[in-house]
Structure 1
Amino acid sequence: MTTPQIAWHGGVRVVTDESGPAVTVRSARDIAADGDRHMAARLQTGGEVSLLQDGRSVRVPAGSLVLYDTGRPFKIVMPERQRAHILAVPRALLRQEESVLRSITPMVIAPETADDGEGTTAGLTALATAMLEELIVAEPPVREHLARAVADVVGSLVAEHVGSRRRAAEPRELLWRRVTGFVEQNLGDPELSPQRIADRHHISVRYLQVLFQQQGTTVNGWVRERRLEAASRDLVRSGAHRRSVAAIAARWGFTNPSHFSRAFREAFGASPMQWRDGAHSRARIGDSQCGEGKVGPTAAA
């Protein structure tokens, strides 16, 4: 095993690691002892390793660049002889929130596969790779400037990756609006189900469930809430006393009046009839008070 060569250049640490087969483990005790909390960019120039952090495992073949956090425990498994250049970058140079850095590490980028639709990620990865290789052989006066330049490129890679993730999430937001709009328009259909909603939008039921879970709810729960809200508004509209509670329930997709009454009471703390009668009673009292001059601008006049 070759001892890694370590050098500091303008706050950026550069390591060339030639070793293996071996397993490198950085524990919470190690982190507490040395206080090293850099972000590491590892350029795998030979052999292949696996890196595990935060319960996520990534394969890092030769030619790939992997980003990980030295401030959190990790393990690198080297099943064969391997070689890598490692750039340890101060976290501030990446200009990202801690929650973002935690969510994207470990992150692997391979020049031949990286693609964000415009080639930006692939281009930045190739640039970082070339600059890291140059940094290893550069003359000492140049290394400090080159190290900071590589750190800036790695920071740009992280920013581009974060931006790609956000762009990828935008269609999900549009899908959410389409799905919920469809549900709102079909609340009265008793056959409205997760399967029908998923089929209508050409997605799996599992993906539909995940979509709603990300909003802190479930498909059936969200549909039931919208139906109950619509029914509650119908119950207090003018003339609602001329329609039965069962008819209003059926209008909003509830085929079982008993089930509707139980769900309504759980949601609003009153039965549908109490909700309706209470609203009309309050309306009659308000009208009476206005007529007696007790409230309202007319009385004041």
Structure 2
Amino acid sequence: MLTAVSCATRDLAPGDRLDAWQRVLSRTFVDVEVTVDRDRPWTGELAARRLGALQIATEDFGPGTILRGARTAAADPRTHILVRRQLAGTALLLQDGRTAELHPGGLAFHDARRPFRIVLPARQRARILMVPRALLRLEERQLHALTATAVDGAEGGAAALLLPLLDGLVDEVTRVTAAGREQLARTVVDILATVALERIGGPPESALWERITASVRARLGEPGLAPQDIADQHAISLRYLHRLFQRQGTTVGAWIRARRLEAAHEELALPGAAHRSIAAVAARWGFTSPSHFSRAFRETYGMSPAQWRRAAGAVQAD
């Protein structure tokens, strides 16, 4: 569902503008207090669209300050993560004892669960994404380390590749079908999660690969083991998980199948496992269908499980 919110203070009487602007920001994002210098001219424009759980807004406002105080945060149940992508002008985002100075092209995360302040020295424009914290699949300690740290594609790394892609996907939202918007929203969240992990110094890819494969080996006997389960266990996006396996020249499903076959192959050769049926060995390593197991085993090893068991027994007897 694509719903829209819009507000322009220039359409209101001067005395009504500040209260109306504070109300629309609080309704669209989270409860905040807005202050402006009444001796300086200011205006505010907001256009927001919601795609299921994800909200995308463009804010044109300043000079002024947006504050979410401790009492407000405690009283407001909304705990989304907000991502500010600066489009024009500058902004200072303060949270958790840090200050991110954002210039056009910069991006920073802030957490609605805790107080924050945004200082806008002059009129500026920003895109703001509001994401349920669970969708980023980051631990609380990771979120606490992420807030008010500026991300800039000019620094290189994943951000240099992903931030322009992020902008393109967001611009595409209104031009695709409802089904396409849902897919775009998931892709946007995956990109944000990847950028966040890189910014906080997530585990090196080699170490992450070792950690993931070790945990998967320990879960080979779970018939329902799925890529999403693995991604959730390691607090990474599903897209990033698939990319890790692709870089190894395989897929998640193919890697799991190969490890299951290896484990069954080894067990069938053990004298101590001779009393177990082939179906029991297959089930032990996550195969729910004995016939499927037998076909996969023959394709991989050139003989049936029974033939391998006999051959292994003959070798051991010699």
TM-score scaled by structure 1?
0.50
Larger radius of gyration: 1
TM-score scaled by structure 2?
0.47
